[in-house]
Amino acid sequence: MSFASLLADYATSGHIWDEMCTQGEIRNHYKVFFDSLSQVSPADLLRKDELAKKLFMSQGVTFTVYSDGEGIEKIFPFDIIPRIITAAEWQQIEAGIKQRIKALNIFLKDIYHDQFIIKDGVLPAALIHSCPNFLREMVNVDVPFNIYTHISGIDLIRDSDGSFFVLEDNLRTPSGVSYMLENRNMTYRVFPGLVPHNNVRSVKDYPDLLFKNLLALSNRQKSQPTVVLLTPGIYNSAYFEHTTLARLMGVELVEGRDLVVDNAKVYMKTTAGLKQVDVIYRRVDDDFIDPLIFNPGSILGVSGLYYAYRKGNVAIVNAPGNGVADDKAVYPFVPDMIKYYLNEDPILKTVPTYAMDNPEHFTHVFGNIERMVIKKTNESGGYGMLMGSAATEQQVRDYKKEVQKNARQFIAQPIISLSSVPCFINNKIQPRHVDLRPFALYGPQGIEIVPGGLTRVALREGSLVVNSSQGGGSKDTWIVS
Amino acid sequence: MLSRVADAVFWMARYMERTDNILRVLRTNYIASQDEIQNFDWNLWIAGLGCTTYDETVKPGYRQALFDLLLQKENDTSVLTNIVRARENARSVQDYITKEVWQCMNDYYHLIREKHTEYLILHGDPVTAFDNLLRESTLFYGTVDITLNRGEGYTFLNMGKYIERMLRSLDFLELKIKELEQQGNELVQWKYLLYALSGYEFHTKYYRNTLSTDNVLHQVMLNVQFPHSVLYCMQQVERYFKRLDSVSVPEHFKEMEFLLGKAISNLRYGMPTAPTAVTIKPILQNTRVEIKSLSQKLAALYFGYS
């Protein structure tokens, strides 16, 4: 089988933006990579695919599914063909995300303090007060450097004309960055020489940038503040990421049981006694960080942690209460926030969003359900959503009842046909839909975004759901200069 | 370092050392059962190694015995279970140990779960399976040696390793004495004990005579040139422990130092001049009690995080 026959099945559709092909031609920015790839035999490509799987397994880049007391190792599916984005496109993405994060951060400061945005009528008060992730405990709490969104993962998609849309803002504990790093390491292994040959920009700085920002948050006058990464533990599906980041930054990976609060200061339990902690990069959700304030049943957090935080004795990253800004019902107001706080026009587009508690929207959405996707405002991971185009009538009826029970918790958006990229699946190169999650780091010196991100792929043919929990995979993302 | 991390590193090392020691003794037993020792009593070893699926009414063949001791998931003390536990400990300190150590542990785990390993034990040549597994074990020690920093974690790792090793040497010695009492054949039994502890060649060079009980007991208990001897291991525990002086709570350090010194003195000066399989028994018991209290004290003073 030749390389040409490998590509023969690469069928793109006219109303979907394919990132590699346009009208049967390979786009310029894919040409260098594709020339190299055409020298690799299909059998070699298969070997590379197997090598990648083997390496992920042996390096333990896995998550464990526990059943019958026995852990079964699984790898997140990885597609070996990288996704390529041009420097010009990246420039727009970078500027757009910085603008957005800046506005969202001011919004968080405002909403937990003076609430000018409500007083000025830009945002309805009811929207905020009905949001389950608005933390009253955060009202009037001053956070270091007024930064709430230290680490954000902004999900981007491309419409049929190739323009970028923001699909979701993940401002709480976004995950996936370790896969951005590991996927690049994997590309070095499966395609030796190709990364430098294509002038791909490096993503390796991420841990250093993050660590620099975390160190800057310490409130103590100390040359070496103690930074820790708080993980829920080895059973968490993102545990691999927690260990990777802790190791790359050289900070302690702690669990809730390793920490104790005394006199409003946080300490970790070491072999030589208690040692004060200055900054906590927590990967535990708000609800679980302090059983005295939030979920009393939580054993993942630390009693008294929130009190120490309010006293300013420890910094928590990201700040608690960010969920109010990435609520899907607040999402359609982000362009207004950008205008209101920054007096700028949004660089990145926003997907039209219908609030299901608005009767007109409700009727419109269910009247055009085959073109709509309905989502829960506070769910992620692709859970709890209904794709109108793929649902049966019965499913739509059931879902409608569900929506009617608590309409505030649902929004709807028109289905956007995500762009497609080449993937190596079943010994063929085939187009599959993708999104992109770049990671933005907000520190006292500003917002930095490493050039790259996590590209998530819907591996099933025609599927638009890229979440790893729903059969999605990932691939390396190249920003070529 | 975090107490939890110290605890996990300590136990990772214990499980890995246990795995290595058990693999060596089972490999030797298997070879003995194929050659010099007719009617090898596998039940003695199944019970002696604490197999939780042991059924005294069943007399297993060598393949079934090896399977139970190596690969049986339900057996809480099988080699597979040990590796799983070592790996779980390693996973919880994945950021502390090096990537190489973690990868090594991970490869070990995948190897023992391979169908081919099971095939070799149940239908093929078990020695090949032992050798494959032992190679991973050796790789682990090498990787730890050349990649892990010499901080506190390395100290606790080595303390775990040597505490476990002396307990295994005591275990195997006791089981051999039991075997001797049942079956006699002293020279053959001692020879296989030394094989299992990788000490037979050393014995012939150091003692320059045919095997005798007092020399074998001296080697296993007191010979400080023999890396599996109880005294050697105890001295290593002391050597590593002393590195904790500057980072310990002073009272904790003193308490442990005293216990260690006492255990070493009791062992060194408490042995009869020409020990026999009978006179050694109370010494073995006392030493075991001392090691256990040492280990418990270490857990209470250094790992007491909950």
Question: What is the arithmetic mean of pLDDT over A366-371?
Answer: 88
Q: Which range has the top average pLDDT, A235-239, A312-316, A380-384, A400-404? A: A312-316
**Among candidates B3, B110, B152 on the partner chain, residue whose Cβ is nearest the Cβ of A57:** B110
Q: Confirm or reject contact between A55 and chain B (CB < 8 A).
A: no
Chain A residue numbers with beta carbons less than 8 Å from the beta carbon of B111 are: none
In a domain, A376, yes or no: yes
- What is the pLDDT, as a whole number, of residue A93? 96
Name the pLDDT band for A65 (thresholds 50, 70, 90): low
Q: Confirm or reject contact between A303 and chain B (CB < 8 A).
A: no
Q: Domain count of chain A?
A: 1
Contact A70 B73 (CB under 8 A): yes
Contact A269 B247 (CB under 8 A): no
Report the distance separating Cα A266 and Cα B60, nearest Å.
56
Per-residue pLDDT at A222 exceeds 90: no
Per-residue pLDDT at A1 exceeds 60: no
- What is the pLDDT, as a whole number, of residue B84? 94
Residue type, A88: A
Domain boundaries, chain B: 1-148, 157-306
Chain A residue numbers with beta carbons less than 8 Å from the beta carbon of B303 are: 271
What is the ipTM for the molecules in this complex?
0.78
**Among candidates B93, B106, B249 on the partner chain, residue whose Cβ is nearest the Cβ of A273:** B249
- Residue A105 preceded by cis peptide, ω within 30: no
Question: What is the arithmetic mean of pLDDT over B194-221?
Answer: 91
Alpha helices, DSSP H only, in chain B? 3-34, 42-48, 62-70, 79-92, 99-112, 115-122, 126-147, 152-183, 186-196, 200-207, 213-222, 230-242, 250-270, 281-302
**Among candidates A58, A70, A252 on the partner chain, residue whose Cβ is nearest the Cβ of B110:** A58
Per-residue pLDDT at A69 exceeds 80: no
| CA distances (Å), origin B6, targets A33, B13, B154, B271, B297 | 47, 11, 9, 34, 14
Per-residue pLDDT at A74 exceeds 90: no
pLDDT tens-digit series, residues B210-240:
788 999 999 999 999 999 999 999 999 999 9
Chain A residue numbers with beta carbons less than 8 Å from the beta carbon of B302 are: 271
Return the minimum-mean-pLDDT range out of A169-183, A355-369, B9-23: A355-369
- What is the pLDDT, as a whole number, of residue A259? 96
In a domain, A460, yes or no: no
| CA distances (Å), origin B279, targets A460, B178, B187, B214 | 72, 14, 18, 11
Per-residue pLDDT at B39 exceeds 90: no
Chain B residue numbers with beta carbons less than 8 Å from the beta carbon of A239 are: 91
Chain B residue numbers with beta carbons less than 8 Å from the beta carbon of A57 are: 110
In a domain, A358, yes or no: yes
Instruction: Give SS3 for B148.
Output: coil
In a domain, A362, yes or no: yes
In a domain, A371, yes or no: yes
The Cα of A143 is separated from the nearest Cα of chain B by a number of Å equal to 28
Q: Confirm or reject contact between A236 and chain B (CB < 8 A).
A: no
CATH number of residue A384's parent domain: 3.30.1490.270
Residue of chain A whose alpha carbon sits nearest to that of B88: A234
Chain A residues 58-77 with CB within 8 Å of chain B: 58-60, 70
- What is the pLDDT, as a whole number, of residue A7? 73
Contact B1 A253 (CB under 8 A): no
- What is the pLDDT, as a whole number, of residue B59? 84
Chain A interface, mutation test: which of B1, B2, B105, most A Cβ atoms within 10 Å? Answer: B2
Per-residue pLDDT at A471 exceeds 80: no
- What is the pLDDT, as a whole number, of residue A2? 60
pLDDT tens-digit series, residues A18-49:
999 888 788 999 999 988 888 888 888 899 99
Contact B106 A269 (CB under 8 A): no
Q: How many CB atoms lie within 10 A of CB B58?
A: 9
Half-sphere exposure for A473 (CA within 13 Å, toward CB) = 22
> Which range marks the domain in which residue A408 is found?
352-414
Residue B53, Cβ density class (10 Å: 0-12 exposed, 13-18 middle, ≥19 buried): middle
Q: Are A230 and A299 in contact (CB under 8 A)?
A: no
Chain B interface, mutation test: which of A59, A61, A271, most B Cβ atoms within 10 Å? Answer: A271
Return the minimum-mean-pLDDT range out of A12-16, A267-271, B142-146, B281-285: A12-16
Chain A residue numbers with beta carbons less than 8 Å from the beta carbon of B103 are: 58-60
**Among candidates A240, A247, A252 on the partner chain, residue whose Cβ is nearest the Cβ of B2:** A252
If phi over 0 gives left and psi between -120 and 50 gives alpha, with beta otherwise, what is residue B290?
alpha
Report the distance separating Cα A99 and Cα A90, nearest Å.
14
Give me the sheet containing A273-276, strands edge to edge. A259-262, A265-270, A273-276
Per-residue pLDDT at B170 exceeds 90: yes
Name the pLDDT band for A407 (thresholds 50, 70, 90): confident
Question: What is the reported pTM?
Answer: 0.87
Chain B residue numbers with beta carbons less than 8 Å from the beta carbon of A226 are: none
Q: Confirm or reject contact between A235 and chain B (CB < 8 A).
A: no
Instruction: Give SS3 for A430.
Output: strand
In a domain, A400, yes or no: yes
Name the pLDDT band for A64 (thresholds 50, 70, 90): low
In a domain, A125, yes or no: no
Residue of chain B whose alpha carbon sits nearest to that of A248: B95
In a domain, A394, yes or no: yes
